[in-house]
Amino acid sequence: MTSAGRPRRPRRDALENLDRILRAAREVFAAEGTEVSIEAVAARSGLGLGTIYRHFANKDALITDLARRLLTDAVELAETHAASGDPAALTGYLWDVSRLLAGQPGIIRRSWKFPGSDELTDRSRQAQARLVAQAQAAGLIRRDLSPEDVAVTLWAITGILDTARQLPRSGWERHLETVLAAWQPGTPPFTQPSLTPADIDAIIDGTAV
């Protein structure tokens, strides 16, 4: 605390070190997965382990911070697209958020669930529901599409990115194109029911069987 009782601002060099750590971690985890040691992050960043541990208690804390930042960016994308009022914003959102996820394939699975993620997840669902409703009201997508179908689509894309991160082309773009084509009005009705919010919760929590 300062003498006036205000929190002390982080020093510029501390902020620069944090940025180097986060950038290095994203690169290392994207290339090798989160199983890699924190020493590899230190080597990529050019900083010592002591510097990293001044910012993060352990590797899991670092991964959680990256996941929180990624989910926050994804939620803000959804809310920005929903607030635009553009009936076609759902498609733009899906492409933008998928590109965001594609830039951080090493941690995308963790971005769905981490301590304190519930509020962000709720905001994301609300924005996705608005995007679906806007597109349906304008007749741009089929009436039997649910917001949970959007969540499943993004879950599938994270799986593609997570398992194919070593390949030059993961295939997520083609997958999204086929999904969007199936969402067009006039296509045959779905034969299977939509998942429920509880089903999505079970998938995120890892309790689905």
pLDDT score of 33: 85
d(CA 26, CA 73): 15
* Residue ranges in the chain assigned as alpha helix (H): 12-32, 38-45, 49-55, 59-83, 89-102, 118-137, 147-163, 172-182, 197-205
Q: pLDDT of 115-155, one tens digit each?
A: 888 899 999 999 999 999 999 999 999 999 999 999 999 99
**Residue 170 token pair:** 């993961």
What is the residue type of 191? T
Which residues are CB-contacts of 21 (< 8 A; sequence separation ≥ 6)?
41, 45, 47, 51, 52, 55, 56, 62
User: Tens of pLDDT along the chain (209 residues)?
Assistant: 444 555 555 577 888 999 999 999 999 998 888 899 999 999 999 999 999 999 999 999 999 999 999 999 999 999 999 999 999 999 999 999 999 999 888 888 788 788 888 899 999 999 999 999 999 999 999 999 999 999 999 999 988 888 876 666 778 999 999 999 999 999 999 999 999 999 988 887 766 54
Set out the domains of the chain in order of their start, with CATH numbers: 10-56 (1.10.10), 66-205 (1.10.357)
User: Mean pLDDT for the chain?
Assistant: 89
pLDDT in tens, 159-177: 888 887 666 677 899 999 9
User: Whose structure tokens read 């926050």?
Assistant: 72
d(CA 17, CA 74): 24
If we measure between CA atoms, which residue out of 97, 118, 113 comes closest to residue 161? 97
* pTM (predicted TM-score): 0.86
CB burial string 73-104: b at 16+ within 10 A, e below: ebbebbbebbeeebbebbbebbebbbeebbeb
DSSP single-letter state for residue 194: P
